[in-house]
Chain A
Amino acid sequence: MTVDRRWQISLRVLALGYLALLLLVPVALIFYRTFEHGVGAVWDSITTPAAIHAFQLTLEVTAIAVPLNTLFGIVMAVALARGEWRGKGLVNAVIDLPFAISPVVIGLSLILVYGTRGWLGGALADAGVQVIFSVPGIVLATIFVSLPFVVREVTPVLKEVGDEQEQAAATLGAGGWTTFRRITLPSIRWGVAYGVVLSVARCIGEFGAVSVVSGKIAGQTETLTLLVEKRFGNFDLAGAYAASALLALIALATLLAMTAIPGRSPDDLRPSGTVSRRRFATRDVRRSIAAPSHRVRRPASTIRRHTTRAHRETDPPRREEGDT
């Protein structure tokens, strides 16, 4: 055994051990603890009215936040990757704020704006809309924390794909919307899908910001993560584990969905200009050039009919100055 080989193995053991201790063992233990006392107890624990409501609320919030962020993300990514406008650098930096700021701070800042004594909250309360300690607040907090994912996934894909295909579509007569729908969107679809999956995972798992703005009213503003925390705080460990296992299962399902996205393979991201099968090129070109001329001529005459205006003058390619 060479030294290199030994190094390889010890590095692998180290990396796998790190992963196991920090990720696999804790998650596995959750599942172990959950099902320690049988499936029946778990089922009872996740079908209490509070648990069902928390589960529903989490899904509802996700179902509102993710589409909004997807729409915003695509528009913003196109603006960042294709547009040249003033303040672009600033906006680009601001989009990362939710990554940079602690979710608790985000929650507090939302209270400052939308709380009853907040900047907008008073007016909204007069209009009968309660944001903080209510579902709209949870939605806002969730949108805020999951804002950057789609933008950050789609922008590099747009840059990599380039705008030549869009220009080609324009020269072929396609307007802006048609080009976006038929050319741009399909070429970024896997980037969008990846961003959506990440957003979903973040929305379902969000705790900090939601915790601050929700008020944690059981059966009303309690999401799944808040339920886990409450049960844990009340020493209902079995209940906490059961709810955690549910969260972990949803997360695993999202992860599986992500690995199913084919666009992550380098093949799909390669720009069309790179030639992957050059060895075929010469042969195929020869074949087409050597194609019997009668095969070529017949259809060409059809074209000629369409382009009569363009070819009247075939012989003298250059005219005298006086002619023009």
Chain B
Amino acid sequence: MILVERVTKRFGDYVALDDVSLSVPDGSLTALLGPSGSGKSTLLRIIGGLESPDVGSVTIHGEDQTSVAPQRRGIGFVFQHYAAFKHMTVRDNVAFGLAVRKRPKAEIASRVDELLEIVGLAGYQTRYPSQLSGGQRQRMALARALAVEPRVLLLDEPFGALDAKVRADLREWLRKLHDEVHVTTLLVTHDQEEAMSIADQIAVMDHSRIEQVGTPRELYDRPETPFVMRFLGPVTQLGDALVRPHDIALSVEPRAGSFEAQVARVVHLGFEVRTELVLGDGQELAVQLTRGEADELELAVGDIVHVRSTVLPRALATRAPEADALSA
């Protein structure tokens, strides 16, 4: 387990991490999710020993690692831009950590071949990184990090430099790999879809703080702050509350707690129908319906309907952006 306790880190006047605590359970795949500049990479680098915190402590498997050099933390680190050793072959790249540990040559060779098999690069042993695609380089970097049997695997935007298709493929691949290898993994990403699709646990960060920690489902269904709600999925405003567009029901007749609205636009996207409405006070509202629901209502532009939230109204007052900035 990785335990981060009350870590603060400043770069000059800029506070990169402000009293951050986090625990990453053994064997889990946890994502640090947040916009750029939220401090997530700094937190990862502090856990990896590449930066040191001004205040606070980092514990890995019960051992205090706060002032331990990265060499002795038993971590594997994967960088956004691969950090491939360009002058070494794929084999030497993966073997590096074992060679530094002066393991017997035969053991290194068999371990390297085994790892290259796992990451799907068998047969690429004698290639140089410049002869690999971005996705292949990143898988090589993963094999290199795994070679030293790290206690924890730290991934800093590992798919950030890849194009969309490769990114989606590698994401699935990483989840499968994690199910096989089970090493405690912490992954930094700014892509909520990436975090939702592969992580067991997500820590959402904003403005140098952790906003909320939970499973993808918990964060999506029970966000504790407007920021988390907005960051994890589409939102629309109904009255004073933030609601997900699929949590709004439409009816022809008024119901308890419903608002009157006029249909401004109807977009058919196959199974999903996206509807834009205008409330009585001029506020715009987006609603996601299934095709069946839309057909039943026979929605047409100009119709007057009644809208209400289908989830329990949450004590989630909408904060103005200025208030967000001040609180951070």
Contacts and interface: CB of A to CB of B under 8 A. Distances in A.
Interface residues of B, number: 79
B84 A278 contact: no
B20 interface: no
B79 A310 contact: no
A99 to B, nearest CB: 31
Interface residues of B, dominant DSSP: mixed
Contacts of A183: 85
Interface size class of A (residues with CB under 8 A): 35 or more
B71 interface: yes
B250 interface: no
B135 A285 contact: yes
Nearest to B128: A272
B136 A284 contact: yes
Contacts of B318: none
A165 B85 contact: yes
Given A277-B132, A311-B182, A317-B215, A282 B81 contact: no
Interface string B138-177: 0101001111110110000000011101100110110010
A317 B77 contact: no
Given A171-B145, A187-B87, A312-B27, A284 B151 contact: no
B118 A174 contact: no
Contacts of B25: 313, 316-319
Contact of A280 (B87, B133, B146, B147): B133
Contact of A289 (B50, B131, B149, B173): B173
B89 interface: no
Interface stretch (B96-104, B226-234, B257-265, B285-293): B96-104
A167 interface: yes
A167 B101 CA distance: 17
A278 B134 contact: yes
A276 B135 CA distance: 12
Interface in B110-138: 114-115, 117-121, 129-137
Interface in A265-310: 267, 270-273, 275-278, 280-282, 284-289, 291, 295-297, 299-300, 302-304, 306-307, 309-310
Interface in B6-50: 23, 25-30, 48-50
A272 B134 CA distance: 9
B70 interface: yes
A233 interface: no
B23 A324 contact: yes
Interface residues of A, dominant DSSP: helix
Interface in B43-85: 48-50, 61, 69-73, 75-77, 79-85
A122 B233 CA distance: 80
A285 B87 CA distance: 23
A303 B151 CA distance: 12
A310 B151 contact: yes
A317 B30 contact: yes
Interface string A166-203: 01111111110010001100110000000000000000
A164 interface: yes
A271 B245 CA distance: 44
27 contacts: A164-B81, A170-B49, A172-B145, A172-B148, A173-B101, A174-B96, A178-B100, A272-B84, A276-B130, A278-B134, A281-B162, A282-B165, A285-B135, A288-B139, A289-B120, A291-B120, A300-B181, A303-B149, A303-B181, A309-B61, A310-B151, A310-B182, A310-B184, A312-B27, A317-B200, A317-B215, A318-B215
The 9 closest A-B pairs by CB, nearest first: A288-B120, A273-B81, A317-B200, A311-B182, A281-B133, A172-B97, A311-B27, A300-B180, A168-B83
